[in-house]
Amino acid sequence: MSTQNLLLVLDLVGILAFAVDGALTAIRTARVDIVGVLSLGLVTAIGGGVIRDVLLGVTPATFQDWRYITTALVGGTLAFFLSRQLTHLSRPILLFDAAGLSLFAVIGATKAQEMGFGPLQAVLLGAITGVGGGTVRDVLLNRVPTVLSANSHLYAIPAMLGAAFVVLANVAGFGTGLVAVVGALVCFTVRILALRYRWNAPLPPGAPPL
């Protein structure tokens, strides 16, 4: 499989994971009908990529290729019909979310770097691609976004680590295919460990402990 195809497959897997995540979060958090479920699945799935492309100054890729939207709608529909089985379990939501976060962080960083943006911006744009869709979902659901919450057990940090891994590997001359897979595993592993062992980032000095 060529690198471009591998990146497309990873992108679509990330979209599917985030669509399920967004749809289940919507069902769990608010009183939404099928339109709300599919909309929030779609927004979670393509929001990060749209924000990334707008910040990169290019036409959002997710609207130019029908496979993106279709994948997101399939994920949302699956979540709609399986919601009774899935929504009472918080673990599947967290796993789908960690998968989407990891894949989007490395794809965002890779795309930014390919377009000539510097390393700092590429890491930041990777992280924004990872957290963007979920942040828009939380804003629409009237919740403070996960990325800003002090007891979210690291969310942007794993995304930045995964993005930094691919940025450094690309600077060092490695190709983008395998590097993206390893970078996503770095992000995913750190995120899951942080959830498992309840790691949190430092609070401002003087803030009362959790």
Binding site for a second copy (CB under 8 A): 26-27, 30-37, 39-40, 50, 54-60, 63-64, 66, 69-70, 80-81, 83-84, 117-118, 120-121, 124-125, 135, 139-145, 147-151, 154-157, 200-207
Which helix (H) or strand (E) is 42 found in, with range? helix 34-56
The CB-of-27 to a second copy minimum distance in angstroms stands at: 5
The CB-of-20 to a second copy minimum distance in angstroms stands at: 13
Residue 106 and residue 80 in contact, taking contact as beta carbons nearer than 8 Å: no
What CA–CA distance (Å, rounded) separates 131 from 143?
14
What CA–CA distance (Å, rounded) separates 66 from 131?
23
Token pair listed for 82: 């399986």
Q: Closer to a second copy by CB, 112 or 179: give it.
A: 112
In order of 2, 10, 92, the CA distances from 122 in angstroms are: 23, 18, 29
Q: Closer to a second copy by CB, 65 or 178: give it.
A: 65
What CA–CA distance (Å, rounded) separates 2 from 24?
33
Q: Closer to a second copy by CB, 27 or 180: give it.
A: 27
Q: Closer to a second copy by CB, 54 or 178: give it.
A: 54
Residue 181 and residue 8 in contact, taking contact as beta carbons nearer than 8 Å: no
Q: Closer to a second copy by CB, 1 or 93: give it.
A: 93
The CB-of-207 to a second copy minimum distance in angstroms stands at: 7
The CB-of-54 to a second copy minimum distance in angstroms stands at: 6
The CB-of-199 to a second copy minimum distance in angstroms stands at: 11
Q: To 10 degrees, the CA torsion angle through 167, 169, 172, 175?
A: -110
